[in-house]
C-alpha cells in the first residue's frame, strides 16, 4: 500500500480522484493500491522551554540562555490535530511506501518531515514535486516521483530557520522582558530574528521624517510655444538669485540652439514573484501583504495560477512548449492572446532562464480556464494582474522617441524634453486600464512636443516656481516588502534587486506574517496606507543596543546562509552554533547593562475568535489611534492612556503633560480627543 500525505484536505481529494482512491474513510481516501490522507498545515511544532525542564517553566534571568542539548518536536495541542495525526500514524505503520505530497517549498517540506518523525516512519519515502495543482501537473508529477533524500537540504534549511527563530526569539524575548519591562506591566517585549529588524526599518524611517528640516528652493521655467523649458542651472537656494536671472531673460527672446531625437525601447515588465505581486496589489488595490498572499493561495488551490510562494520572476525552458496551451485556456483574454497564437512565440532570456529558477518558476496562469471556476471579486483582480503580466511578456517591446530641445535666452541655457510612443508593443495590453483609471495625464518630460527647428526664436513667458524639499515617505506595506527584500536598500533596477534577494530579510512567504505580527503586537499602526511605529515600538528599538538584533543588513546575511544550506553550500549545524554563540553574547551584554531603562509596554494581545476555519481580524487597539496623536507640549512623544489620565510617552524623559479624565473623558474617540487637545493648546 502506498500512502500519500498532502498538506490540505482539498488537495487530498483531487489526488485521490486522479489516482483512483475513491473510497472515503474517516481521515483518508483509499483505492487502487493507494491511501491518501492529509495534514492541516502544521501538525507539529518545536517543543517549548517548559517541555524540556521545570527550570524553564518560570521566567528567570538566571535560567538564560535556554539552549536544549537536542531540539524536539511535539503535536500541537488541538483535538482535531491529534485525531488526524492518529490516522496518519496508523496508515504509515501499514504502508509499503510513503509519498510526500506536501506543498513544494521549504515550509511544506518541514511540515511533512516533522509528521514522519513524530509517526516514527521507517518506510521508503518518495516526493511529489509540482508547481501547480492542475490535473495535468499532478499526473505528470506522479510519473516523475523523486527520492525524498533529494530534498534533504530543503528540510535542513527549514529546520535551521525554525531552530534559529526559537533560540533567538525565546531567549531574547525573556531577556528583554525581564530586564527592561516596567514593573507595573505584565506584557511581553517580543523580539524576533526577522520581526525586530523589520520594526527597526520602520522606526528609522519615522525618525528621518520627524527630524527632517524642510528647505525652500526655487526653479526657473519659461513657456515657449506651449512647451515648458527648464533652466539648466537647476535649483536656486535663494529667491533673490533666481529673480535676478528672471530679470535678465524676460526682455530677450528664446532661441532654439539644438533639437535632438533618440529612439529607445522598453521591455515588458517582469513576471510576478510573490513580493512583486504583493507590492503591486498594495499599490493598485490597497491590499495588505497578508491579504494578497491569501488571495493568490486561493487562486493556486483553485488551479488557475501556479505555486505562489516564489522569489523568482523567470520561467524554466521546459515551460515554453506549454505557453500556447495556457494562452488558449485563458478564454476571457482571447482578444489579447489571439495575436500571439498565430505564429511562433518569442523566447526571451528576460523571461526564460534556467539559471534563475530553482524549485519553482514565476507566478503565471495555468491551463485552466478562469471563467470555469468561481472566483471572488478580489481574486479576479489578482488573477487579472497575473494574466496581463504573463501575456505582456510575449508582446514586442514598446518603441518610443525622446526629443530633447536646447535653447538659450540671453546667456542662460534652457532645456525641454518630450516623449513620443512610436509602437505601443506590450503597452497596448494596459491601455484600457489606464483609461479606466483616469491616468491620461502626461507628466512633464513625457508630453508630445511640437516640431522645433534649430535657430528659431520668439517670445516666451518666464516664471519663478517656489518649492520645498520633502521628507521621505512613511513605509507602506508595498515599500516595506521591497525594503525587506533588499535588506533596507532601495533599488529600482530589477537585475540589481535580484542580486540582493539573497540577502533579503525573511522569506517571500513569511514577510506578510511578520508585518501582521508587528501590527497585532501594537509595535506598528496602520494609518491609511502608511505604517507608523507606535510608542512601544520606538521604545523597544531604542532599548535594544545589540546591532545584530535590529540590523536588516546583518539579518540578511543570516538569510543568505539559510539559502546556502538549501543549496548544500553551508552547514546547518554551523548556522545553529553561530546563533547559540550570538545568544550567549547578547545575554551577557544585557545583564551587564546598568542603565535602569524601563519600557512601559502597551501591546496587550487582542482577542480573536474563529469563524469558518478562519480567524477574525483582531479588534483595533485603542492605543493604536492614540499613539498617532503627537504630544503638543514637547512635540517628541505621543499621547498614551494611563489609569487616571492621558499623558505623553516621553514622561520618563521629562515631559509632564497630563490630561486628567475629569476634563478629557476616558471614553473619547481618538478623533475627538485630538480635537480637544488642539483647542486646548491653540496659541
Backbone angles phi, psi at 588, to 5 degrees: -65, -45
Q: How remote is the C-alpha of 82 from its chain's centroid?
A: 33
Backbone angles phi, psi at 651, to 5 degrees: -60, -30
C-alpha span between 575 and 503 (Å, rounded): 15
C-alpha span between 211 and 416 (Å, rounded): 35
Cell of 637: 512623544
C-alpha span between 45 and 74 (Å, rounded): 6
Residue 234, by phi and psi: left (phi above 0), alpha (psi -120 to 50) or beta? Answer: left
Report which of 1, 7, 2 is spatially closest to residue 112, judged by C-alpha positions: 7
Residue 671, by phi and psi: left (phi above 0), alpha (psi -120 to 50) or beta? Answer: alpha
Cell of 417: 524634453
Residues in CB range of 441: below 8 A, 6 or more apart: none
Which SS3 state, helix, strand or coil, does residue 407 take? Answer: strand
Q: Residue 224, Cβ neighbours under 10 Å: how many?
A: 25
Residues in CB range of 180: below 8 A, 6 or more apart: 189, 543, 597, 598, 599
**Active-site residue flag, 29:** no
307, 412, 523, 664: the active-site residue: 307
Task: Check whether the bond before 159 is cis (ω within 30° of 0).
Answer: no
C-alpha span between 615 and 608 (Å, rounded): 7
Cell of 186: 505584565
Q: How remote is the C-alpha of 99 from its chain's centroid?
A: 32
Which element (helix H / strand E) includes 524? strand 524-527
Residues in CB range of 141: below 8 A, 6 or more apart: 128, 129, 130
Contact 501, 485 (CB under 8 A): yes
C-alpha span between 517 and 609 (Å, rounded): 17
Residues designated catalytic: 307
Amino acid at each position: 500500500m502506498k500512502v500519500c500525505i498532502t498538506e490540505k484536505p482539498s488537495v487530498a481529494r483531487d489526488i485521490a480522484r486522479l489516482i483512483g482512491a475513491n473510497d472515503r474513510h474517516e481521515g483518508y481516501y483509499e483505492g487502487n493500491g493507494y491511501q491518501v490522507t492529509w495534514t492541516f498545515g502544521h501538525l507539529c511544532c518545536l517543543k517549548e522551554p517548559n517541555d524540556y525542564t521545570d527550570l524553564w517553566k518560570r521566567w528567570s534571568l538566571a535560567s538564560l540562555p535556554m539552549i536544549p542539548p537536542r531540539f524536539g518536536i511535539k503535536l500541537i495541542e488541538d483535538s482535531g490535530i491529534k485525531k488526524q495525526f492518529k490516522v496518519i500514524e496508523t496508515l504509515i505503520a501499514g504502508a509499503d511506501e510513503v509519498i510526500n505530497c506536501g506543498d513544494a517549498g521549504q515550509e511544506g517540506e518541514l511540515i511533512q518531515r516533522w509528521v514522519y518523525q513524530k509517526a516514527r516512519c521507517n518506510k521508503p519515502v518518495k516526493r511529489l514535486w509540482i508547481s501547480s495543482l492542475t490535473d495535468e501537473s499532478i499526473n505528470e508529477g506522479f510519473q516523475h516521483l523523486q527520492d525524498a533524500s533529494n530534498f534533504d537540504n530543503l528540510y535542513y534549511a527549514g529546520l535551521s530557520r525554525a531552530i534559529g527563530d526559537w533560540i533567538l526569539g525565546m531567549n531574547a524575548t525573556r531577556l528583554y522582558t525581564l530586564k527592561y519591562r516596567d514593573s507595573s506591566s505584565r506584557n511581553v517585549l517580543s523580539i524576533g530574528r526577522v520581526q525586530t529588524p523589520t520594526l527597526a526599518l520602520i522606526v528609522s524611517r519615522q525618525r528621518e521624517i520627524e527630524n527632517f528640516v524642510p528647505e525652500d528652493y526655487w526653479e526657473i521655467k519659461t513657456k515657449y510655444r506651449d512647451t515648458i523649458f527648464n533652466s539648466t542651472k537647476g535649483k536656486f537656494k535663494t529667491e533673490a538669485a533666481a529673480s535676478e536671472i528672471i530679470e535678465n531673460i524676460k526682455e530677450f527672446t528664446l532661441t532654439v540652439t539644438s533639437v535632438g531625437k533618440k529612439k529607445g525601447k522598453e521591455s515588458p515588465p517582469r513576471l510576478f514573484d510573490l513580493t512583486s505581486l504583493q507590492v503591486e496589489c498594495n499599490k493598485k488595490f490597497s491590499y495588505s501583504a497578508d491579504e494578497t498572499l491569501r488571495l493568490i493561495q486561493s487562486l493556486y488551490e483553485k488551479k488557475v495560477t501556479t505555486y505562489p510562494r516564489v522569489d523568482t520572476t523567470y520561467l524554466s525552458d521546459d515551460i515554453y512548449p506549454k505557453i500556447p496551451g495556457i494562452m488558449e485556456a485563458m478564454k476571457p483574454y482571447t482578444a489579447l492572446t489571439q495575436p500571439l497564437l498565430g505564429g511562433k512565440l518569442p523566447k526571451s532570456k528576460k523571461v526564460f532562464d534556467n539559471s534563475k529558477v530553482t524549485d519553482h518558476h514565476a507566478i503565471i496562469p495555468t491551463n485552466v480556464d478562469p471563467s470555469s471556476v468561481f472566483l471572488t471579486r478580489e481574486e479576479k483582480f489578482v488573477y487579472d494582474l497575473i494574466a496581463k503580466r504573463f501575456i505582456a511578456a510575449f508582446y514586442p517591446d514598446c518603441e518610443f522617441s525622446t526629443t530633447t530641445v536646447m535653447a538659450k535666452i540671453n546667456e542662460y541655457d534652457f532645456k525641454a524634453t518630450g516623449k513620443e510612443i512610436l509602437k505601443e508593443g506590450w503597452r497596448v495590453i494596459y491601455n484600457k486600464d489606464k483609461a479606466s483609471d483616469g491616468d491620461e495625464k502626461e507628466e512633464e518630460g513625457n508630453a508630445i512636443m511640437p516640431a522645433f527647428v534649430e535657430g528659431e526664436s520668439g517670445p516666451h513667458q518666464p516664471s519663478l516656481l517656489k518649492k520645498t524639499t520633502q521628507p521621505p515617505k512613511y513605509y507602506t506595506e508595498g515599500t516595506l516588502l521591497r525594503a525587506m527584500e533588499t535588506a533596507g536598500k532601495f533599488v529600482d533596477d530589477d537585475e540589481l534587486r535580484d542580486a540582493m534577494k539573497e540577502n533579503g530579510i525573511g522569506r517571500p512567504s513569511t514577510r506578510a506574517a511578520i508585518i501582521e505580527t508587528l501590527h497585532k503586537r501594537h509595535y506598528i499602526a496602520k494609518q491609511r496606507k502608511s505604517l507608523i511605529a507606535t510608542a512601544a515600538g520606538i521604545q523597544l528599538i531604542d532599548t535594544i543596543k545589540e546591532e545584530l538584533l535590529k540590523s536588516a543588513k546583518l539579518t540578511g546575511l543570516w538569510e543568505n546562509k539559510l539559502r546556502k544550506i538549501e543549496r548544500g553550500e553551508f552547514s546547518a549545524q554551523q548556522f545553529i552554533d553561530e546563533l547559540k554563540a550570538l545568544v550567549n553574547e547578547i545575554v551577557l551584554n544585557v545583564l551587564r547593562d546598568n542603565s535602569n531603562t524601563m519600557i512601559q509596554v502597551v501591546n496587550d494581545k487582542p482577542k480573536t475568535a474563529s469563524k469558518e476555519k478562519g480567524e477574525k481580524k483582531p479588534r483595533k487597539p485603542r492605543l493604536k489611534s492614540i499613539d498617532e496623536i503627537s504630544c503638543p507640549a514637547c512635540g517628541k512623544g505621543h499621547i498614551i492612556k494611563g489609569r487616571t489620565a492621558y499623558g505623553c510617552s516621553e514622561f520618563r524623559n521629562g515631559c509632564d503633560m497630563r490630561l486628567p479624565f475629569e476634563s478629557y473623558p476616558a471614553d473619547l474617540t481618538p478623533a475627538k480627543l485630538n480635537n480637544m487637545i488642539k483647542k486646548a493648546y491653540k496659541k
